[in-house]
Each structure stands twice: as C-alpha cells, then as structure tokens.
Amino acid sequence: MNHTRKLLLLIALMLGNLGRISATSLGQIQNHLDAGAPQGAGSQTHIYLPLMLSGACPPIQRGLAFLDARYNPAIGLLNESPVVAPNRYWLTNDNALAAYVFARLGKPAMSGTLRASMRRYGYDSNGFIDVVWSVPVAWPPSVERQVMLLKSGTDEIWQEFHDTDIRFLDWREYANLGFLGALNEHSQGRTAQAHEVFAATLSQFNGIGFRDKAYRTHYETYKLALALYAGATIHAPIPSGDELLTALLGMQGADGGFVTLYRDLQTPEGDANTETTSLALLALDAYGCKTNSPRNVGQVEYVVLR
C-alpha cells in the first residue's frame, strides 16, 4: 500500500472513531485501498460516502424501524402504509426512496434486497424521484401516470411513471416540485439557479407548513422534509430551518412513521407511510436531528489518486 493509501485509511479510521462515518463506510474504504488496483499517472477514483455529523438520532432509528416493519419478504418490497394501503407496493417512489435511505443510513443489505426486487418487477427508477440522489431529470417534470403492474391475491405492485407529454409548467407553485427543481439544478452544477429556486420555494412556508397550490384543508408533511433535505444538500441558507425541523419531528408517531397530513402543528392526521417517512429520514440525516445543531453536509467525496 503506497503512502497516499495509508494516509487515506488513517483519516478514515480517525473519522470512524469520531463517529463521522459508519462501519460500513470504513469497510468500503478499506476494501478499496486494499484492492491494489493498477497504478496510473494522473488517474483517480471517486468514492462517495455519507457523513453522520449529527451523531445518534433516536427519531432516525425509530423511523428505520417503521420502514423495516413495512417489509413483506413474500413480495420483497415495503408496503405503502400499515392502515390505509397495507397491500399496495410502489416500486417508485416508495421502494426506490427506501432503498436510498437504507443505503445512506448504513443498511446496505436491505437496500440491495429492495433494488433487486424492483429490478425483478421491471423498474427501479422513473426519471423523476431519481433527482433526490442527484441524478438529473427532464424539467419541468411530466404529470405522473400510475399503473398497477401485478396483482396477486390482495397484493398489488404499482409503478409511477413520468413519461406523459403533459408537464407541470406551473411547477414553481408547488413546494415539492420547487424543492426537487432546486435539487435538479444542483445536480447539474447550476448552484446559483438552485439557490434561487430553493429560496423562492421556501418563502411559501408560513410557520406551519407550505400553503402552496395543492393546499386545501391540510398541510403535507413530506414538503417539510423536502425543504430541509434540499436546503442541506445544495448548501443553501435555511433561515426557517429549526421551525421546519420542529414541525417535522412533531409529525412522527409512536410507531416511528411520519404521518402524511396535518391541519396545524398540534393536529397530525392520516396514516404514516413509506414515502413520507423515507423523505423525513433523509431530511433528519442531512440537516440534523436537533434545533441549533451543526448541519450535516450530506456526503463526503474521497478522491483516491493513483
């Protein structure tokens, strides 16, 4: 092992001892550095690993337990929700999001299981939700098309497509699309545009939730999560960050899941589900679990020079 590799492994071990990266991430670094790949002048390898700057986070652990409980080994997927739709299984967005959450939060085996199941059923992406893990998508997004792919007894496998000719030309009026749009700009290296879109969307927050074009009588919890996750991911100022975090944490139930709707900060309503809980966990991991806590930078890039 050359000096560069020894130094990188030492740094990784130090970060591991400080609780900054997981044992899984340490193993990935160790395996890569021990692989003895051929040397080449000027060549390099990029390894992306999650940082865990917020330390132990009980809400994240409870949320992961909720997601674990959604898993049906006979289907190989997580169901939509325990009460409203226990027999419905979405490839995207639910299981694609959950697979990313498990991979990011140190549960690669479950992530791999879900990805294998999604591929077996035919789809593991939809050209829309992929932007959450920094894959650029066509924008404005197409209006969704939801299709049941398979029915076995009472169990149904569904996929959400974004392939129609009808597009959300008014996407800036929807908080969820605004935050996803900011992530899309960021994924293409357009930092100024990402920050502009994010700030404009965040201005729709009224201290309780996002009263955007979709609002009728209830606020939607996942928009709180997207605000925190997008802002932390693109390194944008989030002046209302702690208010958003307090509101989001108030929507976590005793089972660890995050309920989908609320009328006010004291009145959560609806069933907790896989999609909302997955986005909430990403938000807590990216922003942090406590108010006035250090921001998590999302991921660190190790560049291994050869």
pTM, two decimals, is 0.81
Q: Domain extents for the chain?
A: 3-50, 58-289
Query: Would you give the end-to-end CA distance of the chain in angstroms?
Result: 11
pLDDT digits (tens, 9 = 90+) for 50-71: 444 435 799 999 999 999 999 9
DSSP 293: P
Whole-number percent of the chain with pLDDT over 70: 77
Q: Please report, to the nearest 10 degrees, the dihedral formed by the alpha carbons of residues 282, 286, 288, 289 taken in order.
A: 0
Higher pLDDT, 134 or 21: 134
* Residue 30, phi then psi, degrees to nearest 5: -60, -45
- Which residue reads 């900060």 in tokens? 265
Instruction: Give the start-end residues of each E strand in the chain.
Output: 44-50, 71-72, 77-78, 88-90, 145-152, 155-161, 219-220, 259-262, 268-272, 299-305
Q: Which is nearest to 277 in space by CA: 61, 123, 76?
A: 61
Q: Output the pLDDT for position 155.
A: 98
pLDDT of amino acid 4 = 54
pLDDT band with cut points at 50, 70 and 90 for residue 252:
very high
Rounded to an integer, what distance in angstroms lies between the CA atom of residue 295 and that of residue 243? 15
pLDDT tops 80 at residue 240: yes
pLDDT in the model for residue 12: 52
Tell me which of 135 and 15 has the higher pLDDT: 135
Residues across the chain = 306
